[in-house]
Amino acid sequence: MDINTIELFQTVVEELPLGFVLYSPENKILVVNKKTENFSRVSRDQIIGQTLSVKDKQGTELWFLTQILFPSVAPKMKHISPPGEYPQVVDVSFTSPRLEVRVTTLKLADSLGAAAGYVKLIEDRTRAAVIMESKHEFVSLVSHQLRTPLTAINWTFQLLLKDHLSDNEREIAETGARAAAELVARIDDAVEVAKIEDGRFDYKFASVNLIGILDEVVKRLRLLAGQYGVTIATDWAAEEFIVTADKHKLGVAIANIIDNGVKYSVGGGTVTVKAMKQPDHHTIGLSVHDDGIGIPDGDRVSLFSKFFRAENARKVQPDGNGLGLFIAKNVVDAHGGKIEIDSTLNQGSTFTIFLPTDPKMIPALRDRQ
């Protein structure tokens, strides 16, 4: 790069709220801005013109910038974008003092596509990380402090229901059991969402039979369906449908969709759960059909957003939290799948999950290869 181009870069980036480093393909520092000086605690006069390498900068005042150029040697590094693709995005953590930064690398190419230089954008995320950790600690505390006694309350009601009760007493016990179970479910949803948002929603993938997951979920939800006067019907072949999945988390996603179908069905209706192999032989489809209230056309785009609930859904179930479909979508995406919706207002909805049978289609497993 000529001197005029470098001076122009310097002028443009000086007041950026992000750290900015322009360097050559040989790792020679050409431009840094004021924010980068603050991050590294080194003046630009000591930085510009330096060629950074891991071998000879460790322990020097340029070690911070060296770790920004070579994040793999930083105390802690996490890929946010697929390795090797541009823009490259990684989160880098430092200690003493604590600093959490997101580093985005841009490749500057010449007319032939060859690298003419690189740019690093450094975003300070320390405060956001501390807030996220505090939120996680709070959610964990609430989960432990509330879930345990609520589970005990629920079990107490379940034991009462086994006794000989009058009709009025049984109705009271059933109401209490239902309320306790609903509170436990909401706490679980809040914990799951917190894990998704701070990247701790770790998956344990294994080869599993999808029908086994469906059997467990349907068996558990038939009690709920009975309370709403709804029948859950199943339709799948007597064979194994093998997928690579986190059994628990995929079960949660499927349960959330069936739960919606039950709660928004017309009393006495049917929710039909169907599994089928797709014609491409690389995908398994799982559909949940209900004959309930349907989804307004204008609400479909926001349906999987956190806390979103369609207006007609709020009228039927005022107390919902709008987290179930958000969790389901994140889980299905993490499995390399997708969810499609077919719905007619006041006539019902069909949610169809498509899951790949090839583990290479799962993002987390593909990135490890």
Predicted local distance difference test score (pLDDT) of residue 322? 79
Q: Which two tokens stand for residue 347?
A: 């006539």
What's the CA gap between 348 and 353, in Å, rounded?
17
Q: Which amino acid, 159?
A: L
Predicted local distance difference test score (pLDDT) of residue 338? 93
Q: Which residues contact 52 (CB under 8 A, 6 or more apart)?
A: 23, 27, 29, 62, 65, 66, 69, 70
What confidence tens digit (pLDDT) does each residue in 148-182 have? 788 888 888 888 888 888 888 888 888 888 788 77
Under-70 pLDDT residues of the chain: 1-6, 9, 143, 194-201, 366-369
Domain architecture of the chain: domains with CATH: 3-124 (3.30.450.20), 126-201 (1.10.287), 203-368 (3.30.565.10)
Predicted local distance difference test score (pLDDT) of residue 367? 54
Q: Can you point out the beta strands (E) in the chain?
A: 19-23, 29-32, 76-79, 88-94, 99-109, 115-124, 206-209, 231-235, 242-245, 270-277, 283-290, 338-344, 348-356
Predicted local distance difference test score (pLDDT) of residue 18? 93
Predicted local distance difference test score (pLDDT) of residue 29? 92
Three-state secondary structure call for residue 56: helix
Predicted local distance difference test score (pLDDT) of residue 53? 87
Torsion from C-alpha of 151, 157, 163, 165, nearest 10 degrees: 180
What confidence tens digit (pLDDT) does each residue in 306-342 have? 888 888 888 877 777 778 888 899 899 989 999 999 9
Three-state secondary structure call for residue 304: coil
Q: Are 56 and 156 in contact (CB under 8 A)?
A: no
Angle at 327 between CA 323 and CA 330, to 5 degrees: 140
What's the CA gap between 342 and 30, in Å, rounded?
55
